[in-house]
């Protein structure tokens, strides 16, 4: 797994690729736990996880690509 990391205003930001996001989404759906319980286990924010799931359910893989990946 390749993780791209950048610093913005002193905040560490991880950039996950589409495949990594899909894996996290699938694992979350199988887990049976809440987003607030699951997100910290993958070092992602609850808001990001919820957005990925919502976007993936609406538009599939293309919907969760980062702007520069489209």
Residue 48 in domain:
yes
**Domain-embedded: residue 36:** yes
* Burial category of 60 from C-beta neighbours within 10 Å (exposed 0-12, middle 13-18, buried 19 and up): exposed
Q: Apex CA 27: angle with CA 25 and CA 28, to 5°?
A: 65
Structural domain including 64 reads 16-69
Task: State the pLDDT at residue 65.
Answer: 83
What three-state secondary structure class fits 44?
A: coil
CB 5 within 8 A of CB 12: yes
58 part of a folded domain: yes
Per-residue pLDDT in tens (0 to 9) along the chain, 70 residues? 555 545 444 555 668 899 999 999 999 999 999 999 999 999 999 999 999 999 999 999 999 986 655 5
Q: What's this model's pTM, rounded to 2 decimal places?
A: 0.77
Question: In the chain, how many domains are there?
Answer: 1
């Amino acid at each position: 797994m390749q993780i791209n990391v950048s610093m913005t205003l002193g905040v560490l930001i991880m950039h996950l690729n589409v495949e990594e996001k899909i894996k996290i989404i699938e694992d979350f759906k199988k887990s049976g736990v809440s987003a607030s319980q699951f997100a910290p286990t993958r070092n992602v924010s609850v808001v990001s996880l919820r957005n990925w799931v919502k976007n993936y359910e609406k538009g599939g893989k293309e919907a969760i690509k980062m702007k520069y990946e489209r």
